[in-house]
Structure 1
Amino acid sequence: MIERDDMTFPYSEFQRRLSELRQRIAERHLDAVVITDPENITYLTDYQTTGYSFFQALVVPLEKEPFMITRALEESNVFARTWVDLTRPYPDTGDAIQMLVDALREFGLADKRIGYERNSYFFPAYQQDCIHTSLKDGKLLDCFGIVEEGRICKSAVELEVMKKAAIATEAGMKAGIEACHAGVTENEIGAAISAAMFRAGGETPAVMPYVTSGPRTMIGHATFEGRTVQPGEHVFLEVGGCYRRYHTAMMRTVILGEMSDAMYQAQETMKRALDAIHNMVQPGMTVSDVDNLVRNIISDNEVGARLITRSGYSIGIAFPPSWDEGYIISLKQGNSAILKEGMTFHMIPWMWGIEGDKTCGISDTIVITEDGCRSFFSMERDFTVKPEAASGECIDLSKARKGDSSADGKTEKPGAKQPKKAVSPA
């Protein structure tokens, strides 16, 4: 291992992670593990690249020095970012799995008990078949989850990095809310969110912002596709900020018009769910307990809405195609996993199908503390209501893009009211 001081975390943090992994390797009676999931490789080494669609692996023996198999181009990331000293790169004309097999033989592991991530997106079945065929003397065993056991509870230094991701998340959400006006496209709102996240120190997230308006809010995981926002509509925003591959996420809702009774009731229902989370969630509860808490509150509504998904999921290190760690823990009924200090979750008490044709959300990213939980954010939860947008006139933001002096990125009609917090309808 190369001791260095320019990684995301102190060298001692990576030593701890590697030591704990080796304890789990020993407990499973393995001699080595082959790690192929990009999030797990990042967690153990600080390695990252956008080129993870090409085969890559970190091999961690129980006692010997770890080594990496990468595409030749990606070897530069090993030396630039990580503590790993041994690499075996393969050329684009080469066979990645054969390089892995050759390296296992070179380092005396070919006849050992080797764990591999059978369920990894990035170790497909045909590659697994190749390694099973090539390694006749050893024994290959599924060790999926062996790294995730360490990832699920974040250390103090990881939480500090997630706070930086939260700064980017909040900056993006504030910019997105400000950009919501009748007459703009969903793309323009998405652009405002992204620019603000990056200016705030955020990095490329695993998923770009979700921006939908009006009837498109009913489409699951839809995002900006050029639609023009119309007067009187609402806009659903979900933003995931990223720093050093760690993510935090939040949902908010903007109403371009007057708040209806149904939308107000939806807002208050989601706020009650979040209040219950902050008042009641603590170590020792089961995942199912938390889901029932949230689901019962959301289900008790008179606006026709449902919580049709899990009520939250673990969040932390992520690469595309998803920012969540839900495959490690998802908050859903029947899951008996116990909450522990240091776990981090994106809590999503959102409401699908308000009055049959609207979806809204208010969400939060939390960390489980010694005796409760706390949010990474300080933003207002209420829907942002812009009553002036109900007039039917579209606001032209082109002047702002051309540097018009009317605002710092804002263009309000003369005499227009400023956005205000939601209030209960009379």
Structure 2
Amino acid sequence: MFANPFSRPELDQRVASFRQLLVRNELDCAVLSAPENIFYLTGLDHWGYFAPHFLIVPVEGEMVLVTRAMERVTIETFVRNARFSGHGDEVSPAVALVAEIRQLSGRAGIEMNSTGFSYPTGRALAEAIAPREMVDISGWLDTLRQVKSPEEQALMRAASRLSDQGMQAAIDALGRGGGESGVAADVMSALTRDGGNPPGFGPFIRPEHRLGEEHTTWGNGHYPDGGRVFVELSGCVARYHAPQGRLIQMGQIRDEDARMAETCRAGFDAVCGALKPGAVARDIYALWQGHLDEIGCGHYRRHHCGYMVGIGFPPSWTGGNGVTGLRHDSGMEIREGMAFHILSWMMGTGRGDFFLSNTVLVGKAGGEVLSQTTNAPIEIERATALSA
């Protein structure tokens, strides 16, 4: 969050690809409002996205970035390929955007489904553009972002190294008998110390009695012996994330959980082997589900066995306000350079519990696991026992 992470040729190629998409769909300009997509085309990485940002992309000519006037210094430092158009806080962001868009002609594509786009903005644009056509282009640039360039892959590898450090910090702190907030502090330090940025999500660190809370994190208690601790986290480098997760046993693992761990790891390995260019998402999910079916858990279903990751701004590392998952009904084709957070999540099956997840990069021959953290059960024997 202190420099533009992308080379100029990288940004030029991205802008050119997006403009080609606009031309193929007979659009003359586009308005982007998602922080992830504005960052993708300009490299603007800051926390000012809590206020509306709009990137106007004509098929020819200068791009324009419309946001608060107070962001001038940051944008002039980061952004090399768009003109800054600032407005005072007394001016509605929609009014400022309309003033710029009225200078353009032709059909306009508008990214409407994002955290940065409000109903008043949509209404003001519709009135300003009429009688010209306004087309919803939500998801168009997200699709272009799915395949990671070499520059992006390098950032994700760097983020994965930090994820490993964060997970090891959690294991070490739990072994020392650390309380919930103390473990979290050690994890956050490890994710940051060697060049990491604040992640867009998490870390999620929960004791056993709160395992079912999908998106909550640490409390103010201690982790008791004999229980389990859920840890899911991600390093972040230049907004790129590489999540991983583990279910850590405080003491010796139960026999049924150890057996489920074998199924869990087999399912994970099957997914990684199947993540090849040309594969289809629903077939990959079916492979994972098949390992559960084989042990008599055909009743157990998850909404996905992984989802796409890369760029992430708060409050998520999923790349926006949606999730592109490996679902049972998804016809998405896998392409080389995609990256997924693969989750072999086998919790609440009635036959034992286990969970592991890693970020996996799609290569020609299959999925490359970026994490170095062990996939085997992690059992922690603490020198000093603490009561709950």
For 1:108-127, what aligned pairs fall within 5 Å after superposition? 108-109=103-104, 111-127=105-121
Pairwise CA distance, 1:359: 5.5
For 1:259-298, what aligned pairs fall within 5 Å after superposition? 259-298=253-292
Aligned with 1:79 (options 68, 76, 79): 76
Assess, with a 3 A threshold, how the Cα gap between structure 1 residues 360 and 51 changes in structure 2: closer, same or farther: farther
For 1:36-115, what aligned pairs fall within 5 Å after superposition? 36-105=33-102, 108-109=103-104, 111-115=105-109
For 1:5-24, what aligned pairs fall within 5 Å after superposition? 7-24=4-21
Aligned with 1:211 (options 194, 205, 209): 205
Give, in whole Å, the separation in 2 of the partners of 1:305 and 1:190.
Answer: 35
TM-score, with length taken from structure 1: 0.85
TM-score, with length taken from structure 2: 0.93
Superposed CA deviations along residues 212-263 of structure 1, whole A, max 9, x for unmatched, are 1122112222211213211111111101111000100001122111111111
Pairwise CA distance, 1:206: 0.5
Pairwise CA distance, 1:387: 3.6
Q: Is the 8 A contact 2:292 2:298 kept in 1?
A: no
Partner of 1:350, secondary structure, is strand
Aligned with 2:333 (options 326, 338, 344): 338
Q: Is the 8 A contact 1:182 1:229 kept in 2?
A: no
Structure 1: segments with no counterpart, 5+ residues: 1-5, 396-426
In the alignment, is residue 190 of structure 1 matched against residue 191 of structure 2?
no
Partner of 1:336, secondary structure, is coil
In the alignment, is residue 254 of structure 1 matched against residue 248 of structure 2?
yes
For 1:298-337, what aligned pairs fall within 5 Å after superposition? 298-301=292-295, 306-325=300-319, 327=322, 329-337=324-332
Q: Which letter does structure 1 place at the counterpart of 2:124? A: C
In the alignment, is residue 369 of structure 1 matched against residue 347 of structure 2?
no
Pairwise CA distance, 1:302: 6.0
Question: Which 10-residue stretch deviates more, 295-304 or 112-121?
Answer: 295-304
Give, in whole Å, the separation in 1 of the partners of 2:382 and 2:370.
Answer: 32
Assess, with a 3 A threshold, how the Cα gap between structure 1 residues 354 and 194 changes in structure 2: closer, same or farther: farther
Partner of 1:259, secondary structure, is coil
Q: Which letter does structure 2 place at the counterpart of 1:16? A: Q
Give, in whole Å, the separation in 2 of the partners of 1:379 and 1:231.
Answer: 23
Q: Which residue of 1 aligns with 2:386?
A: 394
Give, in whole Å, the separation in 2 of the partners of 1:123 and 1:307.
Answer: 34
Give, in whole Å, the separation in 2 of the partners of 1:270 and 1:72.
Answer: 51
Pairwise CA distance, 1:277: 2.1
Give, in whole Å, the separation in 2 of the partners of 1:281 and 1:142.
Answer: 31
Pairwise CA distance, 1:121: 2.0
In the alignment, is residue 131 of structure 1 matched against residue 131 of structure 2?
no
Give, in whole Å, the separation in 1 of the partners of 2:230 and 2:323.
Answer: 27
Q: Which letter does structure 2 place at the counterpart of 1:63? A: E
Q: Which of structures 1 and 2 has the bigger CA Rg?
A: 1
Q: Which letter does structure 1 place at the counterpart of 2:331? A: S
Q: Which letter does structure 2 place at the counterpart of 1:138? A: R
Partner of 2:130, secondary structure, is coil
Superposed CA deviations along residues 179-233 of structure 1, whole A, max 9, x for unmatched, are 1148532222111111001012211000121101122112222211213211111
Q: Which residue of 2 aligns with 1:422?
A: none
Structure 2: segments with no counterpart, 5+ residues: none
Q: Which letter does structure 2 place at the counterpart of 1:292? A: A
Assess, with a 3 A threshold, how the Cα gap between structure 1 residues 188 and 247 changes in structure 2: closer, same or farther: same
Give, in whole Å, the separation in 2 of the partners of 1:147 and 1:51.
Answer: 21
Percent identity (aligned): 28
Aligned with 2:220 (options 223, 226, 230): 226
Assess, with a 3 A threshold, how the Cα gap between structure 1 residues 117 and 321 changes in structure 2: closer, same or farther: same
Q: Is the 8 A contact 2:110 2:134 kept in 1?
A: yes
RMSD (Å), alpha carbons: 2.2
Assess, with a 3 A threshold, how the Cα gap between structure 1 residues 230 and 299 changes in structure 2: closer, same or farther: farther
Pairwise CA distance, 1:320: 1.1
Pairwise CA distance, 1:341: 0.5
For 1:351-362, what aligned pairs fall within 5 Å after superposition? 351-353=346-348, 355=350, 360-362=354-356
Assess, with a 3 A threshold, how the Cα gap between structure 1 residues 268 and 305 changes in structure 2: closer, same or farther: farther
Pairwise CA distance, 1:337: 1.2
Q: Is the 8 A contact 1:306 1:352 kept in 2?
A: no
Q: Is the 8 A contact 2:205 2:218 kept in 1?
A: yes
Q: Which letter does structure 2 place at the counterpart of 1:60? A: V
Task: Point out which structure has higher relative CO (alpha carbons under 8 A, 6+ apart).
Answer: 2
Q: Which letter does structure 1 place at the counterpart of 2:4? A: M
Give, in whole Å, the separation in 1 of the partners of 2:230 and 2:200.
Answer: 19
